Amino acid sequence: VTYWTEYAIYPAQMKILAIDTSCDESCAAIVDTQTWRLLSDVVHSHVEDMRPYGGVVPEIASRGHLVGLPLAVHEALRQASLPLSAVDWFTVTNRPGLIGALLVGVTYAKGLAFSTGRPYSVMNHIEGHLYSPGLKGFEGETEMPPFPWIALVVSGGHTELYFVKDFLDHRWLGGTLDDAAGEAFDKVGKLLGLSYPAGPQIDRWVREKATAADRKRFEFPRAVGALDQFSYSGLKTAVSIQIQKLKTTTEADRLALAASAQEAILDALVTQARRSRDHHGAKSIIVTGGVACNSRLRERMPEAYFPSPRHCTDNAAMIALLSALYEKKGRLVPADWTLTAVPHLD
Ligand code: KG4
Ligand code: ZN
């Protein structure tokens, strides 16, 4: 067993301010690498601005960050009771994500670094999700899930499996061939008349109202491909065909459709994560990303390790932790002024 306290023993005091604007949340957080404490953790969501459109509108997200990010950074400093001059290092997500949204974060981080004379560095958002179970270390939890991990990153944009040998030592195994699991939740929800994002609503609705019979009433395709692969594009079609077959749907029908679709989405995640663990000889399964908030998934995978729900969805605390881990390993490198944002995974 490795303990988080090992990471707390570090001679140089360093306060890192992290920024994440990869999607529609303006996030800022500050970590102290000496005490291994999270000093602040702010998420300013723009999801309400997206509801009328049924999904994230990239330009609205970018404009939202122009307003929300300075507010989030200001609030992060206030929570930590620190002046801007006390920040030793700035760090920002520059990939993957919505390009316009990322550019606001990167430009703002450059501005902060330029005006304070401090360095800044760039981080990978998916890597942030990957190591987010470590955020429990900031909350006083000392024991970590034993390595190697199979890490499942399931969000609105990603469904990826990684083999994680140690902190900052991972390799991509595979992922979805088409839609992401969160996207499948949101698209099924849209067909059932739910607003965006539908994932949390389906979760709550099924938990509060559905029976075991509802979860089995409709047989939807399981998105299980080859080892380490998923495919969700057929599910939306199957649900929409089923709705057409029913002609008119009652509230009870829609609940059973939601419950059965959720079960199909989760079945694929549970099956593939366990297959990967067995095949690659991993000791732990880690599930992170927005879909990892799902209560039925948590119930179905008692062996898996989940970060707290607020750290499963987008946040800057995970970027702060990632930067602190890089710093701990002597791999936190300052970026130069020419660095920019890129939309894809590297
Ligand atoms: O990680 P995240 O906040 O943003 C991305 O990077 O995509 O994930 C958002 C996604 C959305 O598709 C949302 O519907 C889904 O995660 N989600 C859930 C739940 N909470 C969020 N899906 C199922 N059950 C939930 N409780
Ligand atoms: Zn994310």
Q: Among 93, 102, 106, 98, which Cα is nearest to 132's?
A: 93
Q: Which ligand sits nearest to residue 55's alpha carbon? A: 1
- Indicate whether residue 23 lines ligand 1 (CB < 6 A): yes
Q: Among 35, 34, 33, which Cα is nearest to 16's?
A: 33
**Separation in Å, CA 289 to CA 26, 48, 89, 157, 306:** 16, 20, 26, 10, 9
Angle (nearest 5°) at CA 54 between 50 and 60: 30
pTM as predicted? 0.93
Tell me, in angstroms, the distance from the centre of ligand 2 to residue 54's CA: 18
- Indicate whether residue 133 lines ligand 1 (CB < 6 A): no
Query: Residue of the nearest CA to atom 8 in ligand 1?
Result: 290
In ligand 1, the atom with minimum distance to the C-alpha of 97 is 6
* Residues linked to residue 93 through DSSP beta bridges, in sequence order: 123
pLDDT by residue (tens digit) across 18-68?
999 999 999 999 999 988 999 999 999 999 999 889 889 999 999 999 999
Given its phi and psi angles, is residue 191 left (phi above 0), alpha (psi -120 to 50 degrees) or beta? alpha
Residue ranges near ligand 2 (ion) with Cβ within 5 Å: 155, 314
- Indicate whether residue 199 lines ligand 1 (CB < 6 A): yes
- Indicate whether residue 145 lines ligand 1 (CB < 6 A): no
* Residues linked to residue 37 through DSSP beta bridges, in sequence order: 32
Average pLDDT, the chain: 93
Tell me, in angstroms, the distance from the centre of ligand 1 to residue 165's CA: 26
pLDDT tens, N- to C-terminus, the chain (346 residues): 444 444 444 446 799 999 999 999 999 999 999 889 999 999 999 999 998 898 899 999 999 999 999 999 999 999 999 999 999 999 999 999 999 999 999 999 999 999 999 999 999 999 999 999 999 988 877 788 999 999 999 999 999 999 999 999 999 999 999 999 999 999 999 999 999 999 999 999 999 999 999 999 999 998 787 899 999 999 999 999 999 999 888 999 999 999 999 999 999 999 999 999 999 999 999 999 999 999 999 999 999 999 999 999 999 999 999 999 999 888 998 999 999 999 987 6
Query: Residue of the nearest CA to atom 14 in ligand 1?
Result: 199
Between CA 46 and CA 68 the distance in angstroms is 8
Q: Is 337 exposed, middle or buried (0-12, 13-18, 19+ CB in 10 A)?
A: exposed
